[in-house]
Amino acid sequence: MKKNHHHSVTNIKELYTKKNIGSPSGKNKKGQMIKIKWTVLVLFFLTMMFSSIYFISPYSQIRTISVSGTNEVLDQEVIDSSGVHSGESLWGTYFERKAIFQNIKSELPQVKNVKLYIEGLNNFRFEISELKTVAYLTDGENYYNILEDGTTLKKEYTATGGNLPTFIGFSDGKVLNQMLDQYNELDDNVKAMISEMEWIQNDRNPLLVKAYMNNGNEILASIPSFAERMQRYPQLVRAVEGENGLFDLEAGAYFLPFSTENDQKYDEENSVEIDETSNE
């Protein structure tokens, strides 16, 4: 009896492959696969070779370090606090930039933010944004920068570095921050008129301060209402027709003219209430 032979699909595919492996189209496909494999291998070895050459060359090392964006912080201080040096691994240092930024900000509290850029092939540039100095604090001998966020820097100076007001006698950080909050609420033109701020620490009013103005006037006020009352200062000066003296703005608005340059003590009995609506 004659047997029927049935080939599976897999056997048909195998027979087709064996049948056509020696054909021109089969040889072309095999040649293409070999070319692709060789191309991949060559590219891999070339990449490894050039990478090795790059990492042992000077181009993989930091050549120069620069700083931009600084106004008050010294560029060299930023570089020193970063701990980055020329000749170190470019990419190794770049991938550690978060730790480097933390080092800079911890050693230089005036640095608000840091960014790092690679310029050219191997030059580092730190871009800095700073917290501005808004005033100076003095202990009678040295001066310290007070930043816009209320931080007082520990670095000592023998003189102030600008036309900002000097805060005198503020030994309590909470009171100083409260005074700064009030000061920051003032218009810029009023801020520019203040030369010094002194915490009086009066027994009657522990938050009493005296402001010394650039034009020679003095102002008494309470810290919690300082900004509100100081905003009226230009108007009060017009009301007394530019005469120099002591303005008591703690409660109401009183004015005591200075009788002489050597006699500038406050005498409530000799003071006069100011009509703030005049000369507006």
Question: For position 231, which CATH number holds?
Answer: 3.40.50.10960
Could you tell me if 179 and 115 lie in one domain? no
Mean pLDDT value across residues 40-69: 72
Mean pLDDT value across residues 51-74: 79
CB 201 within 8 A of CB 208: yes
**Backbone φ and ψ of 99, nearest 5°:** -65, -35
Could you tell me if 183 and 234 lie in one domain? yes
Could you tell me if 145 and 229 lie in one domain? yes
Mean pLDDT value across residues 255-263: 69
Residue labelled with tokens 């609420």 = 185
What is the count of structural domains for the chain? 3
Q: Containing domain of residue 107, as a range?
A: 59-130
CATH of the domain at 89: 3.10.20.310
Report if pTM > 0.75.
no
Tell me the two tokens of residue 226.
């300082």
Establish if 278 belongs to a structural domain: no
Residue 138: the pLDDT is 94
Picking from 104, 130, 156, the residue at the C-terminal end of a domain is 130
3-state helix, strand, coil in the chain (%, to 5): 40, 25, 40
pLDDT band, very low/low/confident/very high, at 278 (cuts 50, 70, 90): very low
Picking from 102, 130, 158, the residue at the C-terminal end of a domain is 130
Q: Where are the beta strands (DSSP E) in the chain?
A: 64-68, 111-119, 123-130, 133-138, 143-147, 166-168, 194-199, 208-213, 218-222, 245-248, 254-257, 272-273
Average pLDDT of the chain is: 83
At residue 112, the 3 state secondary structure works out as: strand
Picking from 55, 72, 88, the residue at the C-terminal end of a domain is 55
Could you tell me if 123 and 247 lie in one domain? no
Establish if 280 belongs to a structural domain: no
